[in-house]
Amino acid sequence: MSFPANFIWGAGASSYQIEGGAQEDGKGPSIWDIMCRQPGNIWSDDTGNIACDHYHKYEEDVRLMGRIGLKAYRLSISWPRVIPGGTGKVNDKGLEFYDRLIDSLLKNNIEPWVTLFHWDYPYALYCRGGWLNRDSADWFAEYTQVMVDKLSDRVSHWITQNEPQCFLGLGHQTGEHAPGLKLGFPDVLLAAHHSLLAHGKSVQVIRSHAKSRPLVGIAHVGVVKMSSGDQLDDREAARKSMFSITARNCWNNTWFADPIIFGQYPEDGIQLFEKDLPRITDGDMTTICQPLDFYGANIYTGQIIRASNNDSFESETQLVGPALTAMEWEVSPEALYWGPRFLYERYGLPIVITENGMANCDWIHADGKAHDPQRIDFLSRYLREYKRAIDAGVPCMGYFLWSIMDNFEWAQGYKQRFGIIYIDYATGRRTMKDSAYWYHNVIKSNGEIL
């Protein structure tokens, strides 16, 4: 079961979900700060005001990461913490926080992987139209440069954006995520187009300003379809389904990945979205399509597909009583085989699983420990499938477990626990769950114990 030498064993979290310090040291408000202020938006009216208080406890957290043996940690930067108004004046105190965090990671031999945008968009820019404003691409490029100037002497791994499918789909179309908009589809596609432009410009800035050779990627939702068997027709049906667009929403791979990797929107989407398409200015697709070093996929679940009569695909009927996580997402380990395989075969980029993990019903047991056997079973099954993809020849650079610690799960607040470190939100106390000790052994043996 041994994984490739230099395989990157990591874990991740994001700024708004763990930092807290929402109004400290000059930070500007993000759309999530504003979203959480309005009663009824978030489960139990939870907010990220304090969250895991990582802003103050980051040293303890990094020490725990070191104990677990992480090779890499995926963090995100809060844009309004470093540029409170989104553009213009930089907040040195905000920058200093990331400076200290990066130094502390490096001191513990943990490689920082920095995501520039994991959803906490500056509220000031939202007021200027947010992603609907074409200038948003330049705002993002400006912010990218601030971060690259500050950190690229120590950071070489960059992820431009996390899950455009979610911040557009949930944030701008259905409204359960910040900024809580329920826009018509033409506007959703316009915002998407601008976010793609922002990605492209950001990659250009990283490549032209980084102090040493950067490795750049993006983290997409991996919308994964799994073949119902080994037969060729089922496999091709699953592949076809995984790269098709069949609904007027953001839940697909190709609308977001094809432009950045192939420089064009997918034909089936263009046809389906016909009347709603944004105006594409000359040169846009060239800007969007920048060379990338890896394809980051956040994969939690997958859907089983089989071939249907007319050379097409259909989903397999749902099991009665499926295994579900606390998010009610179906446990489907093979998603980590088919997902990386299909993504690599289409896009030709090395794969990084930028998120995978599960929400579980965790609590501190009577013996003072946090036992989470479900999570250990879940992770080992998924990792074994990931290894199967590697054995089949898919180049896979690494794996980031979601999440290093329990955190603010967006509209679900603190209802869901994804961490391998348990957080007692009342006291801030951290407790390594059984899965954290287990992950330590996985890393130490380079996967051998799986």
Rg (CA), the chain: 21
- Report how many residues bind ligand FCB under the rule CB under 6 A: 11
Here's the x/- map for ligand FCB, 49-78, by CB under 6 A: it reads as ------------------------------
Catalytic residue among 163, 334, 385, 409: 163
User: Contact between 410 and ligand FCB (CB under 6 A)?
Assistant: yes
**Long-range contacts, 343-347 (Cβ 8 Å, 24+):** 343/222, 343/253, 343/295, 343/297, 344/295, 344/394, 344/395, 345/239, 346/239, 346/243, 347/257, 347/261, 347/295
Phi, psi of 306 (to 5 degrees): -130, 165
Q: In the set 7, 11, 14, 305, which binds ligand FCB (CB under 6 A)?
A: 14
Binding to ligand FCB in span 266-305, by CB under 6 A: 298
CB of 17 to ligand FCB, least distance (A): 6
Residue 163 annotated to the active site: yes
Residue 407 has φ and ψ, to the nearest 5°, of -160, 180
For ligand FCB, the closer of residues 195 and 298 by Cβ is 298
Lookup: tokens for 432: 């390594």
Tokens 């990283």 -> residue:
206
Nearer to ligand FCB, 163 or 334 (CB): 163
> Which amino acid is residue 392, in one-letter code?
A
Separation in Å, CA 367 to CA 58, 68, 243, 373, 415:
27, 21, 48, 15, 23
- What string marks each residue from 131 to 170 as x (binds ligand FCB by CB under 6 A) or -? -------------------------------xx--x----
- Which CB sits closer to ligand FCB, 98 or 402? 402
* Least distance in angstroms from the C-beta of 327 to ligand FCB: 7
Q: Which pair of structure tokens corresponds to residue 90?
A: 């930089």
* Contact pick of 382, 402, 422, 438 for ligand FCB (by CB under 6 A): 402
Residues 6+ apart with CB under 8 A from 366: none
Of 129, 138, 131, the C-alpha closest to 87 is 138
Restricting to residues 318-357, name those near ligand FCB by CB under 6 A: 355
- Please choose, from the candidates 247, 220, 450, 234, the residue with its C-alpha nearest in 3D space to the C-alpha of residue 338: 234
Closest contact distance (angstroms) between CB of 82 and ligand FCB is 19
**CB of 282 vs ligand FCB, minimal distance in Å:** 33
- Active-site residue list: 163, 355
Point out which residues bind ligand FCB (CB under 6 A): 14, 17, 162-163, 166, 298, 355, 402, 409-410, 418
